[in-house]
Structure 1
Amino acid sequence: MSKRGKRKDEEEYSEGDAPVSKVAKKDTGDDSDSEDIFVCQISKNRRVSVRNWQGKVVVDIREFYVKDGKEMPGKKGVSLSMEQWSKLRDHAAEIDEAIGEREE
């Protein structure tokens, strides 16, 4: 994928993201409307939410920043499809085991 196409996708992805907790988005006329469900904050600037993106449910792990007193979603983050989320969840024990080996 070209840089131009990737950047455009990322910019479109970041626009209109709701910053926190089950917030209704304004109607933009595209498939990305509906509600974001804030799940948890995993660090000072990182949050996990579940939302619809282009008609599909995704698990979104994203960094936020403050601009003009408002918390805004940043470009840094990842959205996992339900297939990707299931695969990650299925391998959680293996990930924990690998972490334990590194900590020893």
Structure 2
Amino acid sequence: MSGRWKRKEEEYESDGSGDSHARPNKVSKADSDDIVVCEISKNRRVSVRNWQGKIWIDIREFFVKDGKKLPGKKGILLSVDQWNILRDHVEDIDRALGES
């Protein structure tokens, strides 16, 4: 995995709130090709990335350091197959939420 996931989260800020849905935008990076799909809260983002020749869905928390938003350790990187399994079970998850 890339060393960028090993950064310290000393100035980590997470409020976990917010239902804002940002428009997709492209984030240019030298080592990957990221498309930010949505901001699910102030410090949480869903993006699709091409990393090491494979497509990944990255759901990750970010922190602010020196005025820059950087990826934190907390998150999950799903393969396309894993994403499809999760997507196929959204209705089951919604049903379980209704029962709780």
After TM superposition, the score normalised by the length of structure 2 is 0.75
Unaligned runs of 5+ in 2: 7-23
> Are 2:66 and 1:62 aligned?
no
Unaligned runs of 5+ in 1: 1-8, 27-32
1:1-104 to 2 correspondences below 5 Å: 9=1, 12=3, 14=5, 21-26=25-30, 33-102=31-100
Contact 2:56 2:79 in 1 (8 A): yes
Structure in which a larger fraction of residues adopt helix: 1
Poorly superposed stretches of 4+, deviation over 4 Å: none
Structure in which a larger fraction of residues adopt strand: 2
- Structure with larger Rg: 1
Percent of counterpart pairs with the same letter? 63
Provide the alpha-carbon RMSD of the alignment.
1.9
Deviations 1:65-103 (A, max 9, x none): 00001110101100100000000000100010001100x
Q: How many residues align?
A: 83
